[in-house]
């Protein structure tokens, strides 16, 4: 009986896919390009270029240096020349908002979400005394504190 139910479900899933109502997901790898300020998509099996997922300079992208999927399943992209973190829909590439803009960051080198749900940004400066790791609320983007004080790390 279970096999028959599975068969019926599978039949409709295949039929809907063939009709184009459900498209199978194609796995892809996203790569930031600092050269043209865009996010590019590549086939994760062959390495073949698929398309430009987020276009050049979209919504203020300027000097991309990294990205990460957040706990809210959104794509967070570093824009180093604007000292910003921008959020995008990870399925469509559609712009959502500017999550953080902070002029005290000189060059956002990396980002991560901690086990506490907060966002941590490492900032690199030519002036050693300005290097730091800043902590932001992972839901609102509000500045919390300097997790690693400027010049101490």
CATH of the domain at 131: 2.40.10.500
- Whether residue 118 is contained in a domain is answered as yes
Question: Is residue 126 a part of any domain in this protein?
Answer: yes
Number of domains in the chain: 1
Residue 15 counted as domain residue: no
Residue range(s) defining the domain that contains residue 140: 58-148
Q: What φ, ψ does residue 22 adopt, rounded to 5°?
A: -125, 125
Confidence of residue 104 (pLDDT cuts 50, 70, 90): confident
Is the residue at 78 inside a domain? yes
Residue 27 falls inside a structural domain: no
- pLDDT tens digits along 9-43: 344 434 434 444 444 445 689 998 888 899 999 99
∠ CA(75), CA(139), CA(83), 5° rounding? Answer: 60
Cα–Cα nearest to 57, from 35, 38, 82: 38
Note whether residue 131 is domain-resident. yes
Residue-wise pLDDT tens digits, 4-13 = 443 443 444 3
Whole-prediction pTM value? Answer: 0.78
> Are 42 and 49 within 8 A, CB to CB?
yes
């Amino acid at each position: 009986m279970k096999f028959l139910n599975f068969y019926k479900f599978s039949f409709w899933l295949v039929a809907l896919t063939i009709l184009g109502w459900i498209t199978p997901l194609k796995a892809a790898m996203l790569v930031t390009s600092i050269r043209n300020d865009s996010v590019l998509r590549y086939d994760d099996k062959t390495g073949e270029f698929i398309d430009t997922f987020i276009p050049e300079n979209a919504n203020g992208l300027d000097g991309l240096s990294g990205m990460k999927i957040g706990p809210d399943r959104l794509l967070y992209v570093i824009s180093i020349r604007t000292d910003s973190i921008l959020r995008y829909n990870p399925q469509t590439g559609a712009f959502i908002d500017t999550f953080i803009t902070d002029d005290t960051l000189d060059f956002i080198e990396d980002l991560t979400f901690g086990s506490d749900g907060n966002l941590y940004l490492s900032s690199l400066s030519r002036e050693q005394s300005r290097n730091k790791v800043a902590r932001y609320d992972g839901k609102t983007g509000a500045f919390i504190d300097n997790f690693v004080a400027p010049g101490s790390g």
